[in-house]
Amino acid sequence: MIDPCCGTAGFLVSAMHYMLKKASNEQERTSIKRNQLHGYELQPYMFTIATTNMILRGNGKSNLTCDDFLAQDANKLQLKGATVGMMNPPYSMGKVSPEKCELNFTEHLFDSLVVGGKAIVIVPQSSMTGKNKYEQNIKESILKHHTLEGVITLNLNTFYGVGTNPCIAVFTAGIPHPKDKKCKFIDFIDDGYKVSPHRGLIETESAKDKKQHLLDVWFDRIESETKFCVKSTIKPDDEWLHSFYYFNDDLPVEKDFEESISDYLAFQFDMIMKKRDYLFDFNKIKLSNFQYKEIPKLSSKGWCEIKLDSLIDEVNRGNVGNLGKIKKGNCPIVTAASSNQGVAFLGDIAYAYTDGITISLNGVGTRYSAYHDYPFNLNSDCGKIKFKINLNKFVLIFISTAINKNQEKFTYAYKANETRIKRQTILLPCVDGKIDYEYMEQYIKNIMYKQYKRYLDVLEG
């Protein structure tokens, strides 16, 4: 076993204890201590701690070296015969020098193992995305020579107080990645550990069960829903994370659409009461425009997985920032706020859009997607979706609701952006493999008709 950035030797100590338990005689135990544990550490004071740790735990012949791992010849390291590599490389060093990025350490580790050896690395989630061209090239090189087995997204507080969003990536060294191989991408953010005031990260009663579930899924002892594990083929330019491959495959239900339309109509009524009726074209919202027709229920419709990039031309990010410095006014500015359709009224800023679907580009805990039937402008943490074809308001409300089913995949560690929005998959009603726009339009009209009529019925007693 080799740890090329061993720090205080935590991985080496754990590996030694595990290997010693498996040993059947004293000769094997001696060989483990003398020949089968290798570590590198660049910082002298950390190297001293690592050496001390190993000695205190019974390994008096530690193969530790105080040196730069990246400066070592991988071919020579491979001769040590390490079949397992574990590493937690230094983070964010790529900002100082590109060749010191986490992926470069990772690839060098793979090259240092015997063919078929296993490598487990703990790195920031951003390392699996390929933040720039340099890292994209490394990802491509990795797949040409090594195999990705899977990536486990960890609790955002795993390194409590550090502010790093980590994941575990598992590879097989020396075997080119097969194009048809399905890798496992697991969301293990909910690992049973929580932050306790004054104590930091603590284990809850569910932690052991959650860990066992993780292992059972990883080793294919049980199947898991896609919210926990997605199995997928990969490409070098993919973001090797659960959030990238996951989409919510639960079919939308009537309640989803009722809530979207209730929010839409509540905002409309609120604006009328606050004398902002100038926003709306009332010729378009008369009850007579929403003729009710009997159509099949959602559950009896055929549904298709639709890639949003087949529908979306582009996502235009807003350019209105520093909202706190803008005086209140009459211009609706769409923000990522969860209330009031995300709308704030500020200044006299020129309208950028007449209507359309907006989407949050600002993490979680906010309104994700909503349809706006009036001129508006956009805060810089939101985007306006431009579709490849003209779609009416009813179809756009339906699509916006379908998009909202994917909100859970985005976090502060994996924020929505223009590219990630277009890469999403959503579920839409289809006929003969084609999107059923007519059904979507009538379905929303029916709900709006019922909502309007319900309100009028209450008024009339």
CA dihedral sign, ordered 251, 256, 257, 260 = negative
Residue 60: pLDDT above 70? no
What are the strands of the beta sheet with 434-435, ordered from one edge?
Answer: 302-307, 425-431, 434-435
The beta strand positions in 180-339, using DSSP E, are 183-188, 193-196, 200-203, 229-232, 302-307, 312-317, 328-334
Looking at residue 161, its pLDDT comes to 77
Tokens of 161: 């107080």
- Tokens 């087995």 label which residue? 149
Res 358: pLDDT: 92
Name the band, by pLDDT with cuts 50, 70 and 90, for residue 363: low
Confidence band, pLDDT 50/70/90 cuts, at residue 291: confident
- Mean of pLDDT over the chain: 91
Nearest to 1 by CA among 53, 38, 50, 54: 38
DSSP letter at 6 equals: -
Q: What is the mean pLDDT of residues 338-351?
A: 84
Predicted model pTM = 0.87
Q: Which domains does the chain have, with CATH numbers?
A: 68-245 (3.40.50.150), 254-459 (3.90.220.20)
Highest mean pLDDT among 66-80, 270-284, 337-351: 66-80
Residue 306 has pLDDT above 90, yes or no: yes
- Which of the four pLDDT bands, split at 50, 70 and 90, describes residue 364? low
Q: Is the pLDDT of residue 365 over 80?
A: no
Distance CA 340, CA 367 (A): 10
Residue written as tokens 């991988």?
74
Task: Name the H helices within 102-162.
Answer: 102-112, 133-145
